[in-house]
Amino acid sequence: MKVFSSEYTFDYSWEEVSTANWRKYCPWNDKSTHVISVDTLSCKVDPATGILRTERLITCNQSAPAWVVSVLGGANISHVYETSYVSPADKRVT
């Protein structure tokens, strides 16, 4: 089930954009302190197209509003499943 999708064209080189994509959740990114861990579940290159498909599980510490927790219950830990496609030929990350 796809819940969220976004698209933006950055005015930077392909090298900068593609590198930033992999560094968005990492130990040296002090802007994403809510991210506890990033686990790569799958990483494959399609031999016909050269497109890299990666699946990651991102564990975050994000508390819900108190009223939501009181009604629905829940925990401060959430998991995000991310699938990304990198096409070096098209210089596109989706």
Q: In the 8-state DSSP scheme, what is residue 46?
A: -
Q: What is the mean predicted confidence (pLDDT) over 3-19?
A: 84
Which pLDDT band holds residue 21 (cuts at 50, 70, 90)? confident
The separation between CA 88 and the C-alpha centre of its own chain, rounded to angstroms, equals 18
Q: What's at 19, amino acid-wise?
A: T
Please name the helix (run of DSSP H) or strand (run of DSSP E) that holds residue 37, with its range, or none: strand 35-45
pLDDT at 1: 67
pLDDT in tens, 26-85: 777 788 888 999 999 999 999 999 999 999 999 999 877 888 878 888 788 888 999 999
